[in-house]
Structure 1
């Protein structure tokens, strides 16, 4: 079982000029407990040399780039690897991410999928005193959502960074990656920082990146996933988005919704439904006049379905179908609505025909020809 020590850089603020453009989670990976002991002893010597009695902390070095380089040069000689998720908040589609709850949910989903898909057996240690509590929220998320049927094993521990020098290294690496990517931290030293840590990086995932069907196929962990269903569902959405809006507000809203659904579903390891409430929070964040749910269901969801976009729905919300189970949900939804409605129309039609001795048929109008043929059959 691999052993990981994780810490984060950045926060959920979208005030890029003052609060930074990126949110980063860095995980120091070690092969086993024996190597942990060796690493701790070696890192302790580096700590004493550069930080004396204090912890190894990126913010203690801050913009002293020469000092950071010297510390990195010694750290990279140690035996560990780096796993990191780098989220560019500037490209997160949907203003609702400015809500801390929505942002944490997105990043929790994303980190969970990427980390435990890559390392199905992992003991993860995090600082119990996170500056923005992200790791504490992540632990709650894992405890709630982890499924033993998907992953072989996971252990999750909270420890104080003062008693774990490897978590201190994770802090330093996360901060260094911040000085590589974050627009408020970038400098002429950024490339040198990257070159130094590059040999230690096992995985560095940048998000968001251009969406493709292949990526969804590659990252799927849902055991019911069907690439054929996913292919047609996603490709129709990509084609629709690619065509653009021609300036029409309604189509703009539809594209916004589809992009949002793609990002949220992409981050979710189990491809669960996205609730109507969460979608509406995102869509209405910057609207002068909030969109109501009736308009959303008829003009956004309904109209997209009329155009051939396949969207599954359930009492839990909406999703892009990726399995026969999702398509069944879509069919059940239609079955609940369409058959009762057809039956009501048919009952009314028969009642009028009966009272008029077949002289009056409410479906005689040519605009009802398809409906009339369907009921006649």
Structure 2
């Protein structure tokens, strides 16, 4: 239990769907603050200092929120969150009833956390009045059976920390500033920049590519081609996540976590690539066995591309494409590797053909036929251009 990871869970929002009521939020947000056992005591002490100075105040305006985030940005915790846009839930789905809403998302969040984390000690306010949290605690305790020592590797184990639950509530309120229509703040981009390195992922629900079309294309460009590209990239990512979400294979878990990270980055920074090092920092934050760069490229990104997913890359990193130029970036980067390698194979082949009086062709085997045809086409192409 030395390497145990805690998840301090809190929520933001109202369960109702009557958006004409002032207290009814447009979004429901659940935040888990993740912290390792070795960092917990230090984090509690530091947050307590911030709490005494700031968080105890009844009103937190944007400037104070910025100051608090500045104080939090270097502390040892991560954020794993869910943002549910209640406006996008169809009335005929049945989820618009409070009890059904709570049960439905209890199950979805449990399934996702259980798949993502092998071990996790969950902490929430077990004596509180928040119905979603109380139902979630009951659901997890029902699903996760403790061992002979009354300990569950995934579940609630009577751990407590009011100060870190307050931190989870503060982060949930901060995320709401970027999503909830009734709590929106123009300062959210600044909040996000301070939170960025803390966020493992923000799971958006329902899965809807139109979130991205609205945020990106309708404000920046009317290009029909670009809209097709972003729609295809997002839908393929969501389809892959849904198809493999129950997989027990570790590589599939990493691929799903990568896609979630890229989807979130697309939502917040559609034009920006993410450096490989930053992606690995994010993926490794929840893993004991750390992923290396070569393994990431060959077993994670390459396998997703083999399945037809659209992932753009350049010397600045990776992203989901939002326009044709993003795809050209991928083609250009690939050509820098592919073309020189083909030329080297061609030169090697020519040398052996010359030395053996054309008796040995290293591309004669059937499995090299495609490579042989590419090389022969390259020899013809200059002649056709003359």
TM-score by length of 2: 0.51
Residue ranges of structure 1 left out of the alignment (5+ in a row): 224-377
**Alpha-carbon deviations, 1:184-214, whole Å to 9, x = none?**
1112112222222111001211111146542
1:131 Cα deviation after fit: 4.3
Of residues 27, 48, 51, the one that matches 1:47 is 51
Tell me if structure 1 keeps the 8 A contact 2:144–2:155.
no
Whole-Å separation in 1 of the counterparts to 2:110 and 2:130: 18
Cα separation, 2, equivalents of 1:11 and 1:158: 26
- What root-mean-square deviation, in Å, do the aligned CA atoms of Structure 1 and Structure 2 show? 2.5
Inter-partner Cα distance in structure 2 for 1:196 and 1:16: 30
Q: Which secondary structure does the structure 2 equivalent of 1:215 belong to?
A: helix
Q: Is the contact between residue 80 and residue 202 of structure 2 (CA under 8 Å) also seen in structure 1? A: yes
8 Å contact kept, 1:128–1:159: no
The number of equivalent residue pairs is: 211
Counterpart of 2:89? 92
Alignment counterpart, residue 107 of structure 2, candidates 109, 112, 128: 109
1:21 has 2:26 as partner: yes
2:221 is equivalent to residue 218 of structure 1: no
Structure with larger RCO (C-alpha < 8 A, sep 6+) = 1
Deviations 1:300-355 (A, max 9, x none): xxxxxxxxxxxxxxxxxxxxxxxxxxxxxxxxxxxxxxxxxxxxxxxxxxxxxxxx
Aligned to 1:37: 41
- Of 202, 205, 208, 1:207 maps to 205
Deviations 1:144-176 (A, max 9, x none): 23479xxx821304677xx52111100100111
Cα distance in 2 for partners of 1:158, 1:85 equals 24
Q: Choose the corresponding residue for 1:11, options 6, 9, 14.
A: 14
Report the CA distance between 1:14 and its aligned residue: 0.8
Higher gyration radius (CA): 1
CA contact 2:7–2:32 (8 Å) conserved in 1: yes
Match of 2:79 in 1: 82
* CA distance in 2: counterparts of 1:157 and 1:7, whole angstroms: 17
TM-score of the pair, normalised by structure 1:
0.52
Give the alignment partner of residue 180 of structure 2, picking from 173, 182, 187: 182
- Residue 320 of structure 2 is matched in structure 1 by none
CA distance in 1, matches of 2:70, 2:91: 40
Per-residue CA shift, 1:49-101, capped at 9, x if unaligned? 114xx4x8xxx335x11111111110112110001011111112234223111
Number of the residue aligned with 2:142:
144
Distance 1:72 1:168 in 2: 14
Instruction: Flag the 1:37–1:108 CA change in 2: closer, same or farther, 3 A.
Output: same
* Shift of residue 134, structure 1, vs aligned partner: 1.1
Matches within 5 A, 1:150-165: 153-157=153-157, 164-165=162-163
Contact 1:2–1:119 (Cα < 8 Å) also in 2: no
- Equivalences for 1:307-346 in 2 at 5 Å? none
How far 1:45 sits from its partner (Å)?
1.2
- The CA distance in 1 between the partners of 2:128 and 2:193, in whole Å, is 28
CA distance in 2, matches of 1:186, 1:215: 29
Q: Deviations over 1:86-142 (max 9, x none)?
A: 111111223422311100011101110121211120001001244432111001111
1:262-308 superposed Cα distances (whole Å, 9 cap, x missing partner):
xxxxxxxxxxxxxxxxxxxxxxxxxxxxxxxxxxxxxxxxxxxxxxx
Partner residue, 2:321: none
Secondary structure of 1:20 counterpart: coil
How far, CA to CA, are the matches of 2:173 and 2:158 in structure 1? 20
Structure 1 residues 191 and 15 mapped into 2: Cα distance closer, same or farther (>3 Å)?
farther
CA contact (8 A) 1:28 1:80 kept: yes
Gaps of 5+ in 2: 147-151, 209-234, 250-386
